[in-house]
């Protein structure tokens, strides 16, 4: 949506409503889905002009001098004709939106001539940089680059001292360009729908940042410094594959827009709410199978919290008689076994498991029998009936699979690999 739309919405003319109109009254024009070229030569006082899926009148556009908004999406333009050069006479242009249109490097550089430009949108264009450096755009108040095939940003972008809003949505960035950390006046930042895996320390310098959108990225965690940004009002991190999140995120409270399953990684109340909402599964037909599931969720994916630690467990008064270093630790400790047998696992976590791979050295086994030698069959699996709890399970690989388990597993169409 145009930032200036509300100023012109009540007086916008359309290509089919121009007939009989006084040219002096036509200040805003929207040409959309029009096969014939609309002659602009008599409408030289336009303040607002928008093209969408239409043929551009190059000669008429070149005569405009009072445009404050110009947008163009999926519209026909001669490859020999530079769109920005046609707009050069509009020195008061405040908003420029270009979508799905190729800009030459030379023509793109002319954007710097619009000294009063406040909003720039370059959506799905073939331009990846402004020749001569993005520093030429020093007068911009807002820059938006949406759905472009950008893989990096030039260092010159750091000189945009007046830049307060930056959108790099769907630009295929696998990491955040370090130059963003130099934009000290930045108030809003949109990095959504990029395959970004982590946030660089340089972003901690964005002390004026009020809103940041990181939804739809590939973030596994978030840095604690994010909670210390003084002006922050809104953080959207929904739809990310988080595996671990710092407890410090609690400080953001309602400012943080996050999925409940991810909030449960650092907030115990959210974890309880999630368990109540999704339901818990505690009864498993085979204890060895349940341990393999717990190993994946608690110690590998780190989505089943809190992680059990036998050393902390024995510090509780009721467990004071236990000693992980004693002779009893060669066998499965009954109190620990009881804990894991009663442990409820949220159904939504079970529903996401596609593979289970066990090893004698896994954390779960050292919690149950800290001094286990590996020779006893404490953790053998005999029944495959619990596979019903894991609808997406494809593969099971373990040294603890018995013949009976493998025979039963055939009925569930799951690949079983006995090590």
Q: Which helix (H) or strand (E) holds 30?
A: strand 28-32
Assess contact for 32 and 53: CB atoms under 8 A. yes
What would be the CATH architecture of the domain defined by 5-224+232-239?
A: Alpha-Beta Horseshoe (3.80)
Token reading at 84: 């920005």
Q: Flag whether pLDDT at 140 surpasses 60.
A: no
- Per-residue confidence (pLDDT) for residue 405, from 0 to 100: 94
- Between 148 and 238, where is the model more confident? 238
- Per-residue confidence (pLDDT) for residue 134, from 0 to 100: 38
pTM: 0.52
- Per-residue confidence (pLDDT) for residue 158, from 0 to 100: 66
Q: Flag whether pLDDT at 112 surpasses 80.
A: no
Cβ-in-10-Å burial (0-12, 13-18, 19+) of 54 comes to buried
- Per-residue confidence (pLDDT) for residue 97, from 0 to 100: 80
**286: left (phi > 0), else alpha (psi -120 to 50), else beta?**
beta
Q: How confident is the model at residue 386 (pLDDT cuts 50, 70, 90)?
A: very high
- Between 354 and 302, where is the model more confident? 354
Specify the domain boundaries for CATH 3.80.10.10 within the chain: 5-224+232-239
Instruction: Tell me the pLDDT tens digit for each residue of 369-378.
Output: 999 988 889 9
**408: left (phi > 0), else alpha (psi -120 to 50), else beta?**
alpha
- Between 167 and 299, where is the model more confident? 299
- Per-residue confidence (pLDDT) for residue 169, from 0 to 100: 77
- Between 365 and 106, where is the model more confident? 365
Instruction: Tell me the pLDDT tens digit for each residue of 37-71.
Output: 899 999 999 999 999 988 899 999 999 999 988 99
Cβ-in-10-Å burial (0-12, 13-18, 19+) of 239 comes to middle
- Per-residue confidence (pLDDT) for residue 351, from 0 to 100: 87
Among 143, 256, 135, which Cα is nearest to 189's?
143
Q: Flag whether pLDDT at 115 surpasses 90.
A: no
Q: To the nearest whole percent, how much of the chain has pLDDT over 90?
A: 47
3-state secondary structure of 189: strand
């Amino acid at each position: 949506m145009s930032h200036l739309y509300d100023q012109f919405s009540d007086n916008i003319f359309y290509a089919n409503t121009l007939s009989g109109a006084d040219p002096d009254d036509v200040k805003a024009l929207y040409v959309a889905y029009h096969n014939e070229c609309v002659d602009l030569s008599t409408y030289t006082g336009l303040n607002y002009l928008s093209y969408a899926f239409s043929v551009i009148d190059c000669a008429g556009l070149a005569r405009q001098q009072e445009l404050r908004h110009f947008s163009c999406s999926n519209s026909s333009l001669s490859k020999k004709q530079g769109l920005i050069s046609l707009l050069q006479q509009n020195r008061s242009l405040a908003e420029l939106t270009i979508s799905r249109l190729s800009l030459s490097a030379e023509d793109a550089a002319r954007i710097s001539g619009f000294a009063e430009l406040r909003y720039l949108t370059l959506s799905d264009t073939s331009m990846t940089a402004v020749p001569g450096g993005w520093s030429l755009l020093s007068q911009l108040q807002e820059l938006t680059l949406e759905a472009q095939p950008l893989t990096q940003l030039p260092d010159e972008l750091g000189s945009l001292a007046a830049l307060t809003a930056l959108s790099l949505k769907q630009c295929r960035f696998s990491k955040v360009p370090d130059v963003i950390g130099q934009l000290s006046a930045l108030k809003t930042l949109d990095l959504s729908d990029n395959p970004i895996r982590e946030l660089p320390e340089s972003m901690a310098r964005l002390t004026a940042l009020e809103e940041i959108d990181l939804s739809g990225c590939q973030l596994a965690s978030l840095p604690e410094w994010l909670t210390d940004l003084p002006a922050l009002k809104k953080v959207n991190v929904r739809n990310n594959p988080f595996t671990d999140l710092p407890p410090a995120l609690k400080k953001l409270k309602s400012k943080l827009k996050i999925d409940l399953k991810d909030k449960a990684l650092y907030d115990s109340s959210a974890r309880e709410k999630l368990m109540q909402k999704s339901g818990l599964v505690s009864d498993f037909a085979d204890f060895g199978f349940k341990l393999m599931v717990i190993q994946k969720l608690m110690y590998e994916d780190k989505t089943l919290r809190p992680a059990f630690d036998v050393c902390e467990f024995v510090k509780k008064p009721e467990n004071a008689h236990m000693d992980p270093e004693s002779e009893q630790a060669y066998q499965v400790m009954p109190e620990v076994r009881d804990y894991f047998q009663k442990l409820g696992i949220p159904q939504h976590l079970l529903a996401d498991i596609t593979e289970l791979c066990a090893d004698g050295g896994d954390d779960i086994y050292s919690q149950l029998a800290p001094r286990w030698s590996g020779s006893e069959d404490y953790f053998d699996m005999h029944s495959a009936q619990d596979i019903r709890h894991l609808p997406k399970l494809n593969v099971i690989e373990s040294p603890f699979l018995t013949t009976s388990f493998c025979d039963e597993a055939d009925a569930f169409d799951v690949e079983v690999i006995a090590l």
